[in-house]
Amino acid sequence: LRDGDVNWPEVMKAFAEDMVRSLGKTIRSTSFLETYRTDPKWFSRMRMLAFSFCVCMILTRMVTSLRNELGTFFENTLDVDRSITPQAFSKARRHIRPEAFHALFEDTREQVVNANAVKRFHGYRLFAIDGTDLQLPASEELRMTYPSAHPSSPKSARARGSVLCDVLD
């Protein structure tokens, strides 16, 4: 198939659905729970505040208060009026190891890199890179680690940042 023959919106939609299904299976697995909880006693009983619920909640894009987000999440996913308190959620999320999210990122990255659903231009993936200089807060420690390359501002700390993007996605 040539790029013009592919219905990319449908391909990407199917790819995204497969990825969400795969990540959901991973998040709900016993091995994921046992690997990424901080202590075996946490998330050991079947409760409203399950490990998978906490992970999914953290992965959602929160734009309102935690109380509103928790209520909305419960209504939309469990179709119940009950909710948990922000304090209970905050306490529970402290018992999820940060490495859990790194592992989910790596799983997602592998799926994207190995997918045939990635748009290509004449068989090649197209990437663009852009960079910027960042002004860091003025502190002695940062000035020692990130010295300014500009002679006009030797007392400021500066760093460089860059991003690589797939321009067709």
pLDDT tens digits, one per residue of 105-140? 998 888 877 776 677 788 787 889 999 887 777 778
pLDDT at 6: 62
CA 136 distance to own-chain centroid? 25
> Is it the case that residue 1 has pLDDT exceeding 60?
no
> Is it the case that residue 153 has pLDDT exceeding 70?
no
Regarding predicted confidence, which is higher, 152 or 138? 138
Left, alpha or beta for 65 (phi > 0: left; psi -120 to 50: alpha)?
A: beta
pLDDT band at 151 (very low <50, low <70, confident <90, very high): low
pLDDT at 79: 57
- What phi, psi does 39 have (nearest 5°)? -150, 140
Q: What is the pTM of this model?
A: 0.60
Regarding predicted confidence, which is higher, 166 or 79? 166
> Is it the case that residue 27 has pLDDT exceeding 80?
yes
* Alpha-carbon distances, residue 80 vs 32, 70, 74 (angstroms): 26, 11, 6
